[in-house]
Structure 1
Amino acid sequence: MVLVMPRTWLAGLRSRLGGSASEDGLGILAFEAAAAMSRLVSLHRSLSDDEVRRLRADVLRAEGVARLTSTDQSFLLRLACGEILVDLDRAADTAARLGARCCGSGAPFLCDFDRAYANAKRGTGLARLDAAVGFSRGAGKRFKKMERHVAATAKLYAEMEALTELEASERRMEQWMQHSGPIPAQSSKRQQADEPSEKLKRELRLQRHKVRRLREGSLWSVAVHKMAKLMAKSVLAVLARVSLAFGAVVLGLPPPIAGGRAWALGHSSGPLHQSTMAPDAAIRHSAPIFRQNDTASTPSSLSIKPPATTVGGSGMELRYANVILSAETLLTALRPAVRDEDVRDGMMELSMRDELYKMLPVAIRVGVTAELRERLRGQQVDEEAATAAMDAVERVLRWLGPMAHDTLRWHDERGMERKQRFSMRPRAPMVQTLHFADRRKAEGAIVEVLVGLSCVCWYDDQRRRPADWDD
């Protein structure tokens, strides 16, 4: 994801703070570089031994993933690996663009990094690159250095935003002064107008000084070739770690580097697949993420694009996730009803039910109506039936709810807000969200939840109805 900022904001920064990248530093490209570095640090952390073990033992074996996506661990690992490669490709693109600016600096590795990276992915140059540029040596220190660069540049970005807001306030103040007409010099109105104006000017001076100081300590002032080299080596180190973690189940990855130097990233101790899966089983159930005729320019995203039969393939993942979370909220509000604890706000509950119904897609709404008609034909919902319905809803939401929460988190983590743009924590894997969930199975689970909630609401309405209504 390339860093995108408003054109007017960028133009203003260039005019006030010194243009684009130059021989002295990255300039405005510092923010794009910091976003790519944060992605690399995030990938590095997500590929630690602990995170890969958690992926295999918890994420891929979660009940929701097993029920809606797949129980084939090799298939799920390929999906997880494919998403990592997509993120790595984006960071590599940024490194290649920065490297292209270094063609005259005597660094052929940086000048031609896009081709070097493509060859390394195909397994024909990773070991040779390590021998030539030594990306596996000192990898841990490089990631620590990138963490510091990202933190400093994120701080600069925040202070630049604050500066932009102050300058906008100054322009509004000047416009107000112009339209208010001449004010007598000795009047109290003149003094009242001057006080906030002077205060704003002092704040602007201090803020501009702060921005200049932060520029000197951030990526803004670091030489392009230094950052291109740092990022290029880190990209290759992450690729080497991907090969170690997923090489047994994902065909097409480069072979591990002899000697194991590439794994000295601070947390790794060797391949994690050997103790949990027999090598012949891994090969038997494996399939390449990239087809034989794929070229280096083919986007990796094609290999993890959800089919049309999935929730993500139909573009409904966010809508379904919001329906599930609304059902969780309504369940919480309904719990006291079956336990005979009438402590709820009835109007609030009715509003929640109405909002939930309005957000239902047509297919789910039809399914709920048909299922309710069949289930409630010729029978009343008593307390025992309502309690059983609530228990059933809770059982489903125990495994369906986490997938909905992870779906929203996945989207939030890829948003353009500053706190996400420069976030360096491991991200939620797409495989644990609703993206790859079978659409029919997901809709069936949602219908089951909504039918159960409807039964509880029906009983609650009957219980709270005044006795004289039945006369």
Structure 2
Amino acid sequence: MARETTWLSRLKSQISHKLIHPTSKLARTRSRNVGVLAFEIAGLFSKLLALHQSLSDKNIVRLKNEAIALEGVRKIVSNDESFLLGLACAEMVQNLHVICKAVARLSDRATDPTLRSFSECLEDFASTGRDNYNWAALCGKDLEGLVRRIDRYIAATAALYREIEELNSIQNSLKKTPPEGALEVQQKVVWQKQEIKYVKEKSLWNRSYDSVVLLLARLIFTVLARIKFVFGIGQSYYPHPSTLPRSLSASATVFPSSDLSGNHNSYVSGPLTSTPLHLNKRMTTIGSGTGNRVGFFESRTKDLTPPPTTLGAAALALHYSNLIIVLEKMIKSPHLVGLDAREDVYAMLPNSIRSSLRVRLKGVGFSATDPVLAAEWRDALGRILTWLGPLAHNMIKWQNERSFEQQNLMPKSTNVLLLQTLHFANKDKTEAAITELLVGLNYIWRFEREMNAKALLECSNFFFNNKSSSPINNLQS
């Protein structure tokens, strides 16, 4: 009797535990496989790999020698290399922060308590360099193997997405198929489901949830360590510089002889700057023990706030980019510009440019017949567009890439940084350049019209003279 009572009490205890914790079984089930979250996670992996690729030795050299060396960047953004490198660093950190927020949300569903503490571990690593779980300890072949593995997962998950879309298409066609042809379509549905089952095995769909979140965490820590090392952020946060993996060093062609903190270990290369970037001065307050502790990612987000004198602050960067591209097309073919197109361009101008344009055109005559002056204007406009045009096109490309991300599973790799656009461009300097384009275009356009009118007049006179002196007219007279 006592044994039966013990058994009943144990059963009662188990039932009450399930009633009190009804989500524990759901959590265990959710942690087994990634499931439908595979598509979101594949997108995160794709963004991380794109960011990791942008920090490769080759791209770091391109950043220093090409991106921040653009003539337009130097003219209307900044001529301070450290400032420009700081902007590049801030944008990369911000892109990483967006990914980190999504991964933090995913990590809350993990069963491993270590993964559930992802946010705290990340902030600690970003601020102090402490990596308690060695998530950033990826180097050499280990890192290359991880990247190849993730690439396969991304490709398989993208294939799974396409197969599911195909299945939906077949099922929709089945509804419209007459009864005599339904059997064949039903067989296609069966085959398609088998194909989906096969692809799921190779994709993220059937991977362990915790293992996939761990892959995300390790890749995030690795990318963040790479960013900090390349841009020379908080080198003192690494108590043992020799433990930093060789693969996390910057390009050897940038600073081949750099050494960290007086340590004599041989690295492939060092950071981009031997001194902290100008935008990193706020980072000295992190981890100082003061009450107003500023987070690593929060401080970087502030760095991307455009100054009041820029087009980004005035929300005119995209508008001016479209205007410059329109002017570029008109300057290439001024003879094709009609009166309606001129009015459309004028309608695009803000009041500040209209005012400066009126001042520049005041006193200019209506005649434009000097071919030498027209040639000089063409050369001048060509020189302006050589450095201003790329920034305008980069602005459109930067915007389109982010719109592409919103609409597609696998985001396109970002090849353009915000510093290469008109976002941080000085408003007054940009408007002065646009005004110069408008003044030059006005003269070239009038010159082309007058030359065309003159040519038509000469043709008509030639035709009239030939007609009056023809033999038929002489016979009639």
Paired with 2:245 and 2:150, the residues of 1 have a C-alpha distance of 18
Quick check: 1:120–1:254 contact (8 Å CA) kept in 2? no
Deviation at 1:325, TM superposition (A): 1.4
Paired with 2:136 and 2:61, the residues of 1 have a C-alpha distance of 30
Deviation at 1:455, TM superposition (A): 1.4
Residues 1:299 and 1:78: Cα distance change in structure 2 (over 3 Å): closer
Higher-Rg structure is 2
1:48 equivalent in alignment to 2:56: yes
State which of 190, 199, 205 in structure 2 corresponds to 1:220: 205
Residues 1:196 and 1:391: Cα distance change in structure 2 (over 3 Å): farther
Residues 1:214 and 1:265: Cα distance change in structure 2 (over 3 Å): farther
Paired with 1:280 and 1:152, the residues of 2 have a C-alpha distance of 40
Compute the RMSD of aligned alpha carbons: 3.7
Q: Deviations over 1:163-193 (max 9, x none)?
A: 445545555x38xxxxxxxxxxxxxxxxxx5
State which of 150, 154, 161 in structure 2 corresponds to 1:150: 154
Paired with 1:113 and 1:57, the residues of 2 have a C-alpha distance of 36
Deviation at 1:409, TM superposition (A): 1.4
2:105 is paired with a residue whose SS is: helix
Q: Deviations over 1:298-340 (max 9, x none)?
A: 3742221212321112222211111111122222223xx6xxx
For 1:71-220, list aligned pairs within 5 A: 71-102=79-110, 104-105=111-112, 108-126=113-131, 128-130=132-134, 134-136=137-139, 138-168=142-172, 173=176, 193=178, 201=186, 204-220=189-205
Q: Deviations over 1:133-167 (max 9, x none)?
A: 73446222212222222222223233434444554
Query: What does residue 340 of structure 1 align with?
Result: none
Deviation at 1:367, TM superposition (A): 3.0
Query: What does residue 67 of structure 2 align with?
Result: 59
Once the two structures are overlaid, the 10-residue window that deviates more, 147-156 or 56-65, is 147-156
Query: What does residue 36 of structure 2 align with?
Result: 28
For 1:397-436, list aligned pairs within 5 A: 397-417=385-405, 421-423=409-411, 425-436=413-424
2:30 is paired with a residue whose SS is: coil
Quick check: 2:51–2:92 contact (8 Å CA) kept in 1? yes
Q: Which amino acid aligns with 1:156?
A: L
Paired with 1:436 and 1:280, the residues of 2 have a C-alpha distance of 22
1:122 is paired with a residue whose SS is: helix
Query: What does residue 396 of structure 1 align with?
Result: 384
Query: What does residue 368 of structure 1 align with?
Result: 357
Give me the identity figure in percent.
28
How many aligned positions are there? 414
Paired with 1:114 and 1:284, the residues of 2 have a C-alpha distance of 26
TM-score by length of 1: 0.76
Q: In structure 1, list runs of 5 or more residues that go unmatched.
A: 1-19, 175-192, 338-345
Residues 1:197 and 1:322: Cα distance change in structure 2 (over 3 Å): farther
Q: Deviations over 1:434-469 (max 9, x none)?
A: 11111111111122112211211111111222439x
Quick check: 1:371–1:451 contact (8 Å CA) kept in 2? yes
Q: In structure 2, list runs of 5 or more residues that go unmatched.
A: 1-27, 259-268, 286-292, 462-477
Deviation at 1:428, TM superposition (A): 1.2
For 1:303-318, list aligned pairs within 5 A: 303-318=303-318
Query: What does residue 13 of structure 1 align with?
Result: none
State which of 439, 442, 447 in structure 2 corresponds to 1:454: 442
Query: What does residue 259 of structure 1 align with?
Result: 242
Residues 1:23 and 1:456: Cα distance change in structure 2 (over 3 Å): same
TM-score by length of 2: 0.75
Paired with 1:90 and 1:253, the residues of 2 have a C-alpha distance of 26
Quick check: 1:41–1:424 contact (8 Å CA) kept in 2? no
Paired with 1:436 and 1:265, the residues of 2 have a C-alpha distance of 29
1:101 is paired with a residue whose SS is: coil
Deviation at 1:45, TM superposition (A): 0.8
Q: Which amino acid aligns with 1:145?
A: R
Query: What does residue 68 of structure 1 align with?
Result: 76
Paired with 1:219 and 1:320, the residues of 2 have a C-alpha distance of 43
Query: What does residue 281 of structure 2 align with?
Result: 288
1:22 is paired with a residue whose SS is: helix
